[in-house]
Structure 1
Amino acid sequence: MSRPYISDKLRDKIANRADLLCEYCLISEGDTFLGCQVDHIISIKHGGATEANNLAFACVYCNRNKGSDLGSISRQTGELVIFFNPRTDRWNNHFQLQGARIEPITPIGEVTARILGFNEADRILERQLLINEGRYPTAGARKRMNPSPA
C-alpha cells in the first residue's frame, strides 16, 4: 500500500491545530528527537480518508506504536475498545497526568496508553526530564488537559 500524499499545507494545518503537540501524549514536537508526523486516526486500510477530520499530529513513538490499529482488548473489561480519538474525545476525560506518568481513567484511555506505550520507561524518563526543565506539560498541553467548558 502506498503512503498517501499529505501536502505541506495540510501538514501545517494539522500541526497548528494541535499547537505542535502530539495529540496523544502531549509532547511538544520540538522536545522529541524524531519530531511529529501526521497520523490517520482511522487508517486508510480501514477506510479512513486523508482529510483534516481524520488526521492527528502524533509523535513518532505514538504513531509507530498505533500503526493501523483502531483499538485493542481492554484488560479492565475484556472487550474490544477503540483508541482515543483526538477529533471527538477530550484528553482529560480519558487520561490524567500523575508526575511523569500518563494514567488512563477509562477503558479507552487504558488501551490507548498501553498500545501507544505512554508509560514505557524511556518515555517516562523523557517526560520527567522535560518536567524538571519546566517544558512539560506546555501551556498548550495544560489547555488540552483542562479545556474550558464547551
Structure 2
Amino acid sequence: MTNIPALLRRQVKDQANYCCEYCLLPNDASFYPHEVDHIIARKHGGKTTAENLAYACWRCNRHKGTDLGSFDPETGNFSFLFNPRTQCWNDHFSRHNAQISSKTTEGRTTISLLKLNTHERIVERQRLNL
C-alpha cells in the first residue's frame, strides 16, 4: 500500500465532495470509510498524483482492484473502466429508481465489474434516497 500524503488525500476527498466517484455513495452514509485509491494501479505504472487518485467506497474499490478495464457485458469486447479524473459521471451513467444505468461502453463495463446494481446496493441507495 502506498503512503499517500495527508494533503493529497484531502484534495482527492474534497474534489469528490466526500462521495464515491463510481457509485456516488456519500462517505458519511457508509459503514466503512471510503478510500483514496489509484485509478491506474501502481503495478501498471500509475503515479501517486491527484490526476491518478479517486475517492471510492470500499465495495467499488474492492471490485475494481487493480483492473483498468474488463469485457463489456453487452458486446463481449474489451473496454476500459470509467475514469473519474478524465471523464464526467453524467456522460457515462444515470440513476433511475436507485439503479445506475449506463450510457456508454465504459459505463456498462464499470457497472458490471464494480457490481453497482446488486440487490444489496440498490436497497442501500433506496434507503438513502440516492
What TM-score do you get using the length of structure 1 for normalisation?
A: 0.84
Report the Cα distance in structure 2 between the residues aligned to 1:17 and 1:30, rounded to whole angstroms. Answer: 16
Pairing 1:94–2:92 present:
yes
CA distance in 2, matches of 1:82, 1:108: 6
Instruction: Report the alpha carbon displacement of residue 104 of structure 1 after superposing the two structures with TM.
Output: 1.1
1:123 equivalent among 121, 124, 128? 121
Q: Return the letter of the residue paired with 2:59.
A: Y
1:39 aligns to what SS in structure 2?
Answer: strand
Equivalent residue runs for 1:1-150 within 5 Å: 3-131=1-129, 136=130
The CA distance in 2 between the partners of 1:18 and 1:55, in whole Å, is 10
Is the contact between residue 36 and residue 53 of structure 2 (CA under 8 Å) also seen in structure 1? Answer: yes
Paired residues in the alignment total: 130
What percent of counterpart residues are identical? Answer: 45
SS at the partner of 1:81? Answer: strand
**SS of residue in 2 equivalent to 1:62:** helix
Corresponding residue SS for 2:107: helix
Structure 2 unmatched ranges of 5 or more: none
Counterpart of 1:146?
none
Please state how far the C-alpha of 1:130 moved relative to its aligned partner.
0.3
DSSP 3-state at the match of 1:84: coil
CA RMSD, Structure 1 to Structure 2 (Å)? 0.8
The runs of at least 4 aligned residues of structure 1 exceeding 3 Å deviation read: none
TM-score, normalization: structure 2?
0.97
| Bigger CA radius of gyration | 1
CA distance in structure 1 between the partners assigned to 2:86 and 2:8 by the alignment: 19
CA contact (8 A) 2:20 2:26 kept: yes
Contact 2:73 2:112 in 1 (8 A): no
Q: CA-to-partner distance for each residue in 1:77-135, whole Å, 9 max, x for gaps?
A: 2211000000111111111101110011211000101111110111111000001xxxx
